[in-house]
Amino acid sequence: MLRTSLLSEDFTLPVLTQTAITKCRQIGGLDDRYIPPLIWGKSGHIQTALYGKMGRVRSPHPYGHRKFITMSDGATSTFDLFEPLAEHCVGDDITMVICPGIANHSEKQYIRTFVDYAQKNGYRCAVLNHLGALPNIELTSPRMFTYGCTWEFGAMVNYIKKTYPQTQLVVVGFSLGGNIVCKYLGETQANQEKVLCCVSVCQGYSALRAQETFMQWDQCRRFYNFLMADNMKKIILSHRQALFGDHVKKPQSLEDTDLSRLYTATSLMQIDDNVMRKFHGYSSLKEYYEEESCMRYLHRIYVPLMLVNAADDPLVHESLLTIPKSLSEKRENVMFVLPLHGGHLGFFEGSVLFPEPLTWMDKLVVEYANAICQWERNKSQCSDTEQVEADLE
């Protein structure tokens, strides 16, 4: 179906089939190179810092409806639903189900920018709000989002399938969300029903292998680790009554002393070991990372899968990129995209100094989805034609 591809040069997008190439170019620009801004765009740190601090520039404000789902354990999951603003290029009803990065939600600027662009290209968008990430939504159970828990994402997908039985799905995950969506698809074959394709952007694939690199000062990863841990602490502590209150029926392994350790934690690994793994009863950090990482599920994904990373991403060590590289060499449905620049969820474009509102990443995901939709439409038309010819004979 898809040609395997690894790109370590400044990037020309890989191909699907010769027919798809033509269709993709008719859609527009799927083989465009990523050209970073001249002065600062080749710095992965600046790209990452701009994403982390600003998200995007001049971000739009798409209008959506917030949906609430009560989970079996009493947790209240939320997602935002955005209807398409134009007809899709193949005329079908297609929904993008989107899982944001760590502690992110639909109100983040990079998500708003992507959703707005997808809407204008004819996609309905459903964006998961990670459990505990929205400051105005209280936790209703002693649990919040974790590295690989797919329960809330699965509930959102099931809602979309039930509410829009005619729709087909494009699955998109950013950073931690990429781990969640790939794990979700690989957990059971049924989760891939009605899924046209999946795109994962800037994930690390294996938390177990990443934990050692995240404690290294190379590429300032230890500093990024500290910043993300500090943000996670603030989110957890904002829900301290729901998670640690006296009236709360906490997991048996979660103790009051864990709250004290949380205050002094300086890394995500310490937070995961003292708090996050205990939400799901894992006996050790090693077990938690092994079970919650998508690496052990990737080979079970059979739909078209595009894995996108940047070679200068300061959060994802180069050793982790052997995972998607090896997978793409073995599986025809997998495409690995690796431009030299882009940082972590940056991929800003712009001629010299000021970045454009829309990033190369936004355009890449939508154009890849368009190409897959065209490919599926052409395949369906060919099958119909063959059936008619067979009936005439």
- Beta-strand pair 168-174/195-201: parallel
The torsion angle over the Cα atoms of residues 57, 61, 66 and 71, rounded to 10 degrees, is: -10
Q: Give Dmax (Cα) for the chain.
A: 77
* Cα-to-chain-centroid distance, residue 64: 20
Tell me how long the chain is: 393
**Of 5, 200, 344, 362, catalytic:** 344
Which H or E run contains 172?
strand 168-174
Question: 32: how many CB neighbours lie within 10 A of its CB?
Answer: 15
**Of 5, 175, 200, 267, catalytic:** 175
Q: Which DSSP state fits 66?
A: E
Q: End-to-end distance of the chain based on CA atoms, in angstroms?
A: 29
Angle at 157 between CA 156 and CA 160, to 5 degrees: 90
Q: Is 313 a catalytic residue?
A: yes
The CA–CA distances, whole Å, from 291 to 50, 73, 146, 148, 157 equal: 32, 20, 12, 8, 22
Q: 331 and 19 in contact (C-beta within 8 Å)?
A: no
d(CA 15, CA 10): 16
- Closest alpha carbon to 173 in 181, 164, 165: 181
* Cα-to-chain-centroid distance, residue 355: 22
**Of 313, 317, 328, 341, catalytic:** 313
Angle at 119 between CA 115 and CA 121, to 5 degrees: 120
Look at the alpha carbons of 223, 224, 228, 231 in this order and tell me if their dihedral is positive or negative: positive
- CB-count burial class (<10 Å; 0-12, 13-18, 19+) for 205: buried
d(CA 379, CA 220): 47
The CA–CA distances, whole Å, from 254 to 178, 228, 229, 235, 357 equal: 28, 22, 19, 17, 43
Catalytic residues, by residue number, are: 175, 313, 344
